[in-house]
Amino acid sequence: MVKIGLFICDCGGTLTKNLNFDELVSWAEKSGRFAFVVRGSDLCDESGLKELEAKVKKDGVERVVVAACSPKVKGEELARSVEAAGLSRYSMVVANIREQCAWAHPSQLKEATVKAKALINAAASRAEKIEEVPVRAIPISQRALVIGGGISGITAAQELAELGFEVTIVERQPTLGGLCLKLGTVFPTDDCSLCVRTTACPALGGDSTRKCIYRAAIEVDPRIQVMTNAEVVKVSGEVGNFAVTVKRKPRYVSDACINCGACADVCPVSVRDEFNLGLSERKAIYLPFPQAIPPIYVIDPENCKFKECAKCVDACPVNAINLDEKEEEVVVNVGTIIVATGFEEYEPRRLVDYGYGKLPDVVTQVELARLLDITGPTGGRLVRISDGRPVERIVMIQCAGSRDEKHNFYCSNICCMIALKHALMIKRRFPEVDVVIAYMDIRPVGSRYEEYYREARELGVTFVRGKPACIVPEEDGKLVVDVENTLTGEFNRIKADMVALSMSMVPSKGTQELARILGVKLGPDGYIETLDRKVRPAETNVAGIFVAGAAMMPMDIPYSIAHASAAAIMAARLMKKGEIEKPLLTAVVNEETCGKCMVCQWACPFKAIAVVEGEAARVTEAKCFGCGLCAGACPTESIELRNHTDEQIAATIEGLASDGVKPNIVAIACYECGYSAVDYAGMLGLEYPANVKTMEVPCTAVVDPQEILKALMNGVDGVLIVGCFEGRCHFDKGVRAIGAKVALLKAMLKQLGINPQKLQVVNVDCAEADKFVNAAKQIVSQLQ
């Protein structure tokens, strides 16, 4: 027999109004289940906690049952006292006789007292079965990987470096900078797009509010390793120790390059520079742009003649060029990963009626940014691409591919501001140019962004409310934009020299493949889904992998930087202790009975369990959240959740049913919104029948159908599942999993001739106490 000590607290005497404590204590003493019974009134204050500690120590009990308020209220303090007494914190079980008993049944003194006994019995039964929980220390590498070297990736890397970690940045392009490189001027400051925050580096002018990317000492920071022209191709391992395989495409120029340009001078191959819409030329060996980081030339292998020519090799004064360089794969070991792969414009050719690709003067906003950039192909002059004539009128089309069920259903967030920024740049520099913006809604949402809209009106930008249907060319080379101005109800044919499409923004090419490699979840928009869309904005579903910036949603620079900082903090928080200390309240696989069917792998929202190469399912403890979805889904009953085993759940149910009331109802609540809603009902004094007795599990999906059937056969009249509402399950798909199981079970019950109403589900938000109370009343009345 396990030695259990019981503490009953009447909460400063207040609970005696609703519960007969004398009867409760004498019942407990006579039950023979407890080595001692202590009645207290202030168990949770300092002296009460000390007394508990002393009593546990003195009497040498192995388990502690506390009958008091909800464990969500004082559970942590009580657990610390139990620990101080030398026991594991998991040796304690709380019987919630306040929120879920005394407060919930104020007019049922007798019934509530009976229920309290059942709650204590259940806690004692659970305490008997409870196991030790081992704690594992997982060493965590002090290096982080940042995938993507745009503004978000750079920011995250700088932050982590400042926080004392080593960082590797992997960037697909030959230079850092990302989409920002092409933008020239950006909102909300109307200045250069290439500022980043500083890392203090006295040689470069010390600390200041910001620095140009090339003066920010990123590539020379000893803590930051920059790998450009590189892609992540494989990731193995888990949080703490990921082994990341990076494919490095040859650059053909080593870091001995002194950026003198002698190679490009002699290079005979000129090609159109895609960076500038093909309007300017570059050589086959080139510097992607003047402030490129690293400041090293690169050879474009599609156009270079290599050994046939090799003039650059001779011209290079520092012998930095190696035409034999090969692609290579390197493995980087990191503790955490930050995905900062950003976004790009949606393919404008998909909007067939706008004629992009057929009409050279139809451009995207990013292309317009190149035209307006003084270092761009036209030196910042706004001229037509088709014939070089100055633009007299430009029309901008908003929501091009956004908010459209046929293209991208979402609002792309930043296109209104990009258009307003460009409209202002044009009006300030070329007041004679007519700017027309065709829009559905103008959404300049951000700190002082509305000022852009106001100034645009002030400077004479024309706003036409309507979405253009098509663009056609006129004989004189002008374009005509057909649109209804919905505010006048007139059909407009707007003649223009140039049309800029404010394209929808989509995740960068390769996001899907990278997500597959990393195991991270994508949202319906194709962007990386965060662990929780409300409160975990920088974490993914995979432990140790974070998301920064526009890889998560279309985001402007200020938001990207804030988001990247958040991601860096999340990663640092994990890495800072050098190891992750994790109590293993995790799934445990019985390797002998595992059928290797992979259902668990499918059920796990966190990619924490997998069947690999015909071996029994393996749990990656570092990733496991202990939700039990795998245990509930396993068809061969080969997975148990530590301390929520079938045996422990059955014992608890048996204890709850021991009072023999009719109808005897057990509510199984998830320990998230479900249990909180039950607590909340008590806090609000919303009364429900004392026949309903609640127990908690991490997620209701952990419950096996067999356990429910067994309960119904052993004296339980009804089972009420209390879970979170669909879409807000704390473990992604637990609510759906239990919902499916319940539907199946109800069908089975019906076939067996058992009233299917014996099994019911209620899905609640933690504040929806009334919903739980109604469900409780309903199941009792239906089964009466």
Partner 1 sequence: MVAGNSSGYAMFLGCVIPNLLPHLEISIRKVFGKLDVEVKDVAGFSCCPEPIGTPGLDITTWVTLAARNLCVAEEAGLDIVTFCNGCFETLKEAKVLLEHDAKLRSKVAEALSKVGREYRGRVEVKHFAQVLYNDIGPAKLRSYVERPLKGVKVAAHYGCHILRPSHLLQVDDPFNPVLLDALVEATGAESVDYFRKFLCCGCGVGNLDEATNVKMVMEKLHYMTQAKADCMAVLCPVCFRQYDVRQMIINKTYGKDYNIPVFYYTQLLGLAMGMTPDELELKSNRTKVDPLLAKLNGGK
Partner 2 sequence: MVETYHEINSRFRRELAELHEEGETLNFCYQCATCSGICPVFRYNPKYNPRKLVEGMLTGRKEELIHDPNIWLCTVCHNCTEVCPQGVRVSELLAVLRNLATKAGNVPEHLKAEVKVLLETGLVNAPSKVTVSRRAKMGLPELKTADPAEIRALLEHLGFVKLTAKEGKAVKEESGGGGQQ
Burial 727-747 (b: 16+ CB within 10 A, else e): ebbbbbbbbebbbebbeebbe
**Gap between the Cα atoms of 557 and 552, Å rounded:** 13
Count of residues that interact with partner 1, criterion CB under 8 A: 8
User: Which of partner 2, partner 1, none binds 475 (CB below 5-8 Å, type-dependent)?
Assistant: partner 1
3-state secondary structure of 465: strand
Among 274, 308, 324, 405, binds partner 2 (CB under 8 A): 405
Per the CB < 8 A criterion, the answer to whether 776 and 736 are in contact is no
Please give the Cα distance from 146 to 168 (Å, whole number).
6
Whose Cβ is closer to partner 2: residue 407's or residue 596's? 407
Closest to partner 1 by CB, 135 or 352: 352
Q: How far is the CB of 495 from partner 2 (least distance, A)?
A: 15
As a whole number of angstroms, the distance between CA 376 and CA 385 comes to 13
Min CB(472)–partner 1 separation in Å: 5
Out of 265, 353, 450, 579, the only residue in the binding site for partner 1 (CB under 8 A) is 353
Quote the least distance from Cβ 450 to partner 2, whole Å: 22
Give which of partner 1, partner 2, none residue 491 binds (C-beta under 5 to 8 Å, depending on kind). Answer: partner 2
Angle at 133 between CA 131 and CA 134, to 5 degrees: 135
Q: Give me the least distance between CB of 350 and partner 1, in Å please.
A: 9
Residue 161 contacts residue 221 (beta carbons within 8 Å): yes
What single-letter amino acid sits at 331?
A: V
Q: Name the DSSP class of 294.
A: S
469 binds, among partner 1, partner 2, none (CB under 5 to 8 A by kind): partner 2
Cβ distance to partner 1 smaller for residue 357 or 379: 357
Residues of this chain, 430-469, that bind partner 2 according to CB under 8 A: 440, 465-469
Q: What does 358 interact with, of partner 2, partner 1, none (CB < 5 to 8 A by kind)?
A: partner 1
Write out the DSSP string of 677-705.
HHHHHHHTT----TTEEEEEESSGGG--H
Q: Which stretch binds partner 1 (CB under 8 A): 351-359, 373-381, 434-442, 551-559?
A: 351-359
- Distance in angstroms (rounded) separating the CA atoms of residues 587 and 199: 43
Backbone angles phi, psi at 211, to 5 degrees: -140, 155
Cis (ω within 30 of 0) for the bond into 188? Answer: yes
- Residue 404 contact, options partner 1, partner 2, none, Cβ 5-8 Å cut-off depending on partner type: partner 2
Min separation Cβ 440 and partner 2, Å: 5
Residue of the chain from 307, 406, 448, 534 that contacts partner 2 (CB under 8 A): 406
Q: Which residues in 470-529 contact partner 1 (CB under 8 A)? A: 470, 472-473, 475
Q: How many residues belong to the site for partner 2 (CB under 8 A)? A: 21
Task: Please state, in angstroms and rounded to a whole number, the distance separating the CA atoms of residues 538 and 531.
Answer: 8
| Closest approach of partner 1 to the CB of residue 367, in Å | 21
Q: Which does 306 bind (CB under 5 to 8 A by kind): partner 1, partner 2, none?
A: none
> Of 80, 272, 358, 454, which lies in the binding site for partner 1, with binding defined by CB under 8 A?
358
Residue 464 beta carbon to partner 1: minimum distance, rounded to whole angstroms: 21
**Interaction with partner 1 in 545-564: which residues (CB under 8 A)?**
none
Smallest distance from the beta carbon of 347 to partner 1, in angstroms?
Answer: 13
Query: Is residue 491 part of the contact set for partner 2 (CB under 8 A)?
Result: yes
Q: Does 399 bind partner 2 (CB under 8 A)?
A: yes
How far apart are the C-alpha atoms of 30 and 224, rounded to whole Å? 68
Token pair for 608: 């924490």
In whole angstroms, what separates CA 542 from the centre of its chain? 9
Residue 337 has φ and ψ, to the nearest 5°, of -130, 135
| CB count in 10 Å sphere of residue 249 | 17
User: Residue 178 or residue 355: which is nearer to partner 1 going by CB?
Assistant: 355
Alpha helix stretches (DSSP H) within 598-726:
599-603, 629-633, 646-657, 673-683, 705-713
Q: For residues 440 and 748, which CB has a smaller minimum distance to partner 2 in the complex?
A: 440
Assess 404 for contact with partner 2 (CB under 8 A). yes
The string of DSSP letters for 154-166 reads HHHHHHHHHTT-E
Does residue 401 touch partner 1 according to CB under 8 A?
Answer: no
Q: Answer yes or no whether residue 407 interacts with partner 2 by CB under 8 A.
A: yes
Q: What angle do CA 729, 529, 545 make, to 5 degrees?
A: 105
Among partner 2, partner 1, none, residue 573 binds (CB under 5-8 Å by kind): none
Spatial neighbors of 373 by CB under 8 A, at least 6 apart, are 183, 184, 185, 380
Output 358 or 533, the one with its CB closest to partner 1: 358
The SS3 call for residue 392 is coil
- Residue 300 is a binding residue for partner 2 (CB under 8 A): no
**Piece of 302-310, 483-491, 533-541, 565-573 that binds partner 2 (CB under 8 A):** 483-491
Q: At what angle do helices 151-162 and 557-575 cross, to 10 degrees?
A: 40
Instruction: Name the residue among 413, 437, 412 with its Cα closest to residue 424.
Output: 437
**Closer CB to partner 1, 306 or 491, in the complex:** 491
d(CA 781, CA 770): 16
Q: Does 524 bind partner 2 (CB under 8 A)?
A: no
Between CA 405 and CA 407 the distance in angstroms is 6
b/e per residue 335-356 (b: at least 16 CB within 10 A): bbbbbbbbbbbbebeebeebbb
**Which part of the chain contacts partner 1 (CB under 8 A), choosing from 453-461, 466-474, 530-538, 697-705?**
466-474
Question: Which of 317, 489, 614, 660 is the binder for partner 2 (CB under 8 A)?
Answer: 489
Taking CB under 8 A as the criterion, which residues in 335-374 touch partner 2? 353
Q: Is 352 in the site for partner 1 (CB under 8 A)?
A: yes
CB-wise, 436 or 557, nearer to partner 2?
436
By a kind-dependent CB cut-off of 5 to 8 A, residue 319 interacts, out of partner 1, partner 2, none, with none
The DSSP element (H or E) to which 36 belongs, if any, is strand 36-40
Q: Which is nearer to partner 2, 270 or 488 (CB)?
A: 488
Give residues with Cβ within 8 angstroms of 634, minimum separation 6. 599, 600
What's the chain's length in residues?
784
Binding at 486: pick from partner 1, partner 2, none (beta carbon under 5-8 Å per type) = partner 2
Estimate to the nearest angstrom the gap between the alpha carbon of 585 and the chain centroid: 22
Q: Determine, following the binding rule CB under 8 A, whether residue 236 of this chain makes contact with partner 2.
A: no
Strands 462-465 and 545-547: unpaired
Residue closer to partner 2 by CB (options 489, 660) is: 489
Residue 18 gets which letter from DSSP?
Answer: T
448 binds, among partner 2, partner 1, none (CB under 5 to 8 A by kind): none
Residue 470 as a binder of partner 2 (CB under 8 A): the answer is yes
**274 or 405: whose CB is closer to partner 2?**
405
Site residues (CB under 8 A) for partner 1? 352-353, 355, 358, 470, 472-473, 475
Site residues (CB under 8 A) for partner 2? 353, 399, 403-407, 440, 465-470, 482-484, 486, 489-491
